[in-house]
Amino acid sequence: MKPVEGNKSTREVKVVTRVLAVNERMAEQNRRRFAEKGVFVINVMSSPGSGKTTTLQKTLERIMPQIRAAVIVGDVSTTHDADRLAVTGAPVVQVNTDAFGGDCHLAAHVIEKAADAIDLDAIDLLIIENVGNLVCPAEFDIGEDARVVVLSVDKPVKYPAMFRLCDAALLNKIDLLPYLDYDKAQAIGYIHQVHPGMPIFEISARSGEGMESWIGWLGERIGLKLKARS
């Protein structure tokens, strides 16, 4: 029995590798398309409820109309987040993954389709709010220029791939620190253990505290891409 089990598990690993290879090619295609259009793409990830939509709402309020932005938002179901983000005036496309099996992440081919609904000539920045999950989205390149993770507490060491693969971390809900038994220094220590030197922005999407540094970093990254293009 044992050798059979071994073969079976080898076959399963090959399937996963192939899926990821196909995704990788699609992501490169997206990346070329976004580069041709001069659009900076940011992939925002976190576990459910860490504050992605609230942070993006507050970010859009501050950067628009100077930066022309659009959003693709991924959820298993509902248009609740798209409705919240559309209030900012940005064009928003909601992807519901329950239409194709309830995926816990956005894959490159999904972004390709969603981007068809956006006028890429009319924007500088495409924000992608990924499905709330700290595991699967880290595995899938979608053709983005930067990845950001919004976090709380001990997540960095429990889900290291996400923190290793992201370019910056947003430590959100700092307005709650006085009421929580939360060791912020330890959280930051965990992040740097997994990803030495990772920029960490301490923010409250609710009160707006700390948003300037995060938006400064984002603006710099968008500027670098536009400069490289001109």
Q: Which of 23, 50, 88, 94 binds ligand GTP (CB under 6 A)?
A: 50
Q: Whole-number minimum distance, CB 80 to Mg ion, in Å? A: 8
Exposure string (b/e) for 28-66, b if CB count within 10 Å is 16 or more? eebbebbbebbbbbbbbbbbeebbbbbbbbbbbebbeee
Is residue 48 close enough to count as binding ligand GTP by CB under 6 A? yes
Nearest-approach distance from CB 101 to ligand GTP, in angstroms? 18
Provide the 3-class DSSP secondary structure of residue 163. helix
How far apart, in whole angstroms, are the C-alpha atoms of residue 117 and residue 125? 15
Please, which of residues 58-87 interact with Mg ion by CB under 5 A? Answer: 81
Tokens 């990830």 belong to 45
Per-residue contact track with Mg ion, 193 to 222, x per CB under 5 A? ------------------------------
Q: Using the rule CB under 6 A, which residue among 23, 30, 43, 53 binds ligand GTP? A: 53
Shortest approach of ligand GTP to residue 180 CB, angstroms?
A: 10
Strands 200-202 and 125-129: unpaired
Give residue 204's identity as a one-letter amino acid code.
S
Q: Which residues bind ligand GTP (CB under 6 A)?
A: 46, 48-54, 81, 132, 172-173, 175-176, 204-206
